[in-house]
Structure 1
Amino acid sequence: MSDESEHTDVEDVATGESGADGDATADRETTRDRAVEGFDQGIVDLLSWVLDTETRARIFVYLRQNPGSTSEEIAEGTGLYPSTVREALAELHDEETVTRRKRQSEGAGNNPYEYTAIAPSELVSGVVEQVQSELNTVFNLDDHLDGAGNGVDDDADPVTITVEDGDADEDAEPDGAES
């Protein structure tokens, strides 16, 4: 038996894999990896809609996984150009989607900014008003197009979106419910 063959057999025993069983495990891992990548891409697609671009979405996801990262670390971790990351971070900071603070380091030198993304629940709350307004525009499209009233109260919006805190009292009755 050759040294390489012995090494492979020892690895198979140590991992509990051999032959077809190893192939099945590899297939399961490949399927799992594809599912995770698909889920991650789905999140990025949704965030791309919320944050306007895929670049900003990738930065947001990276910062949720790696809070306190510098622009260089984000560029390396996302594969985006450093200048693109810096520009997107400036916009996200202006919109209060990310926070930043100077990194403290020993000695004289550059103290770069560290960035952290806001909680997803805060991001959703910020989008609710925009979605509500757009839905109301769609539902009132006839009024906007021809300016003619249809007997409906023009001051009333047909859509109201309410975001409740997840810690709300679970025993409370829903609006309009009787005990």
Structure 2
Amino acid sequence: MSVETDADAEADRLSKGRERLGEEADRAVDQFDQGIVDLLSWVLDTETRARIYVYLRQQPHSTSEEVAEGTGLYPSTVRESLAELHDEENVERRKRESEGAGNNPYEYTAIAPSELVGGIVGQIQDELNTVFNLDDHLEPESETPAETEPSEPVSIRVEDEEDASDDETTGADDEGDE
């Protein structure tokens, strides 16, 4: 009897360990997902739009109803945000094809993250260059315009993974590209 009790205790201990490990993994994924949403909220202006973007990356070709159901957001909020994201070219839309008669809703797909980042790089680069050249902007206007031309010490380049792997395989380097 002692052998069976020890085996049961060991099985119970392993089961609890797996359960605890699963809970920790779920918590890590939730924290990672929230971190992504926080970052995208900065890029896309609101958490709502970030949640919609993440959902569409996971579930491309979704209708506004499917996005609302999948994100838990109000359908009217989703429709408004999707219209804005489409106008800004952060999501693509097309009519869903169906066999029957009736209304074919739009289905949406989020653009690739590299395209999303590429869209804001110029803005970030300009803001960083303004900060780096702050002294030039604050100096008295007694200098000639040629002397006050600010340099641009910050240059940001966004590459797709494919572009980066092509550079590695061809032996290309970043020097001289700018």
Q: Which region of structure 1 is more displaced relative to structure 2, 131-140 or 61-70?
A: 131-140
Residue-pair matches, total: 161
Give the corresponding residue for 2:126: 133
Give the corresponding residue for 1:80: 73
- In 2: Cα distance, 1:28 partner to 1:91 partner: 41
- In 1: Cα distance, 2:92 partner to 2:73 partner: 20
- In 1: Cα distance, 2:148 partner to 2:174 partner: 26
> Aligned pair 1:169/2:178, yes or no?
no
Q: 1:147: how far off?
A: 4.9
Q: Which region of structure 1 is more displaced relative to structure 2, 70-79 or 137-146?
A: 137-146
Picking from 91, 96, 100, the partner of 1:103 is 96
Q: In structure 2, the residue corresponding to 1:68 is in which secondary structure? A: coil
- In 1: Cα distance, 2:23 partner to 2:76 partner: 34
The one-letter code matched in structure 2 to 1:68 is: H
The one-letter code matched in structure 2 to 1:57 is: A
The one-letter code matched in structure 2 to 1:172 is: A
- In 2: Cα distance, 1:174 partner to 1:160 partner: 12
Aligned partners of 2:95 and 2:104 also within 8 Å: yes
> Aligned pair 1:63/2:56, yes or no?
yes
- In 2: Cα distance, 1:159 partner to 1:114 partner: 39
> Aligned pair 1:18/2:11, yes or no?
yes
Flag structure 1 segments of 5+ consecutive residues without an equivalent: 1-12
**What TM-score, normalized to structure 1?**
0.82
Aligned partners of 2:114 and 2:158 also within 8 Å: no
**What TM-score, normalized to structure 2?**
0.82
- In 2: Cα distance, 1:37 partner to 1:81 partner: 22
Q: Which region of structure 1 is more displaced relative to structure 2, 152-161 or 61-70?
A: 152-161
The one-letter code matched in structure 1 to 2:22 is: E
Aligned partners of 2:136 and 2:150 also within 8 Å: no
Q: Percent identity?
A: 68
Give the corresponding residue for 1:158: 153
Q: What's the RMSD between the two structures over aligned residues?
A: 2.2
Give the corresponding residue for 1:5: none
| 1:138-173 residue CA offsets vs partner (Å, 9 max, x unmatched) | 112233345545996514212111223324331124
| 1:117-155 residue CA offsets vs partner (Å, 9 max, x unmatched) | 001111111111111011011112233345545996514
Q: Which region of structure 1 is more displaced relative to structure 2, 143-152 or 96-105?
A: 143-152
Q: Which region of structure 1 is more displaced relative to structure 2, 121-130 or 161-170?
A: 161-170
Q: Which region of structure 1 is more displaced relative to structure 2, 118-127 or 29-38?
A: 118-127
Picking from 80, 93, 96, the partner of 2:86 is 93
Change (3 A) 1:134 1:174: closer
Flag structure 2 segments of 5+ consecutive residues without an equivalent: 1-7
